Amino acid sequence: MTGSLAIAGLGPGDAALITPEVSAALNEATDVLGYTPYVGRVPAREGLRLHPSDNRMELNRAGDALKLAAEGRNVVLVSSGDPGVFAMASAVFEALEGSPEYRDVAIRVLPGVTAMLAAAARAGAPLGHDFCAINLSDNLKPWELIDKRLRLAVEADFSIALYNPRSASRPEGFERALHVLREAGCGERLIIFAHAVTTAKEHIETVRLKDARPEMADMSTLVIIGNSATRRVGRWVYAPRRAS
Ligand code: SAH
């Protein structure tokens, strides 16, 4: 039996941003696995088994997906946004490293529109020059590393996209990040809070970093901090193409 595993990104929320490639994989799937709210975005149909699971179960979920594919099922493992950006694709390859019996499973990684790109498009072009992305979740890395990366990103004058800025279990992390950024001299920089982009709850707010408050971000917010040249033109925010 030859099954398959597609690791697919559902985009930031709007169904119009699901790629045709991902839609085709979902249409051919026998099984869809993923974090409960993401599986909830996949329409039920005859012959499709949905396997929602809890957020913290990434490695188990990846192992389950590989096992089902090895049994001959056509499995799609869904993430929001892009599956390779702070999401399930890495978990699958970690599981594969630990389980050589699955090395022959046909795996495909299907890209999606990551939150950072959807957020940037709403604001204008804040990622139009060099930028980096940092995951503020300290579940899998120490805060010291986040602190170091924030400071070095400022020193390199990158625009910075922050994923997972704030959650109920780590309410203080984003406040610490704002403190580090102010200490690093970013008070005058523009900071964009892009909440639930491309959904009915979308809300975008741009302020100077010195005026930013921790409550402006929650777990559905993608934060973009401009570089030192990022500016406004009318209602838009953009990073000029030239840097010195
Ligand atoms: N793989 C996903 C990211 C998963 S991490 C992607 O590529 O987008 C989860 C974080 O992504 C959230 O805490 C938030 O920072 C961001 N995010 C996901 N969807 C979002 C949306 N519609 N609007 C704003 N931020 C979003």
CA distances from 105 to 25, 99, 100, 195 (A): 16, 11, 10, 37
Encode burial over 208-232: b for 16+ CB neighbours within 10 A, e otherwise: ebeebebebbbebbbbbbbbebbee
Ligand 1 mutation target, pool 38, 56, 80, most atoms within 8 A of CB: 80
pTM: 0.96
pLDDT, tens only, 52-110: 998 778 899 999 999 999 999 999 999 999 999 999 999 999 999 999 999 999 999 99
DSSP class of residue 17 equals G
Indicate if ligand 1 lies below 6 Å from the C-beta of 134.
no
d(CA 52, CA 200): 23
Indicate if ligand 1 lies below 6 Å from the C-beta of 222.
yes
Indicate if ligand 1 lies below 6 Å from the C-beta of 230.
no
pLDDT for position 166: 86
Nearest CA to ligand 1 atom 9: 164
pLDDT, tens only, 164-195: 998 777 778 899 999 999 999 999 999 999 99
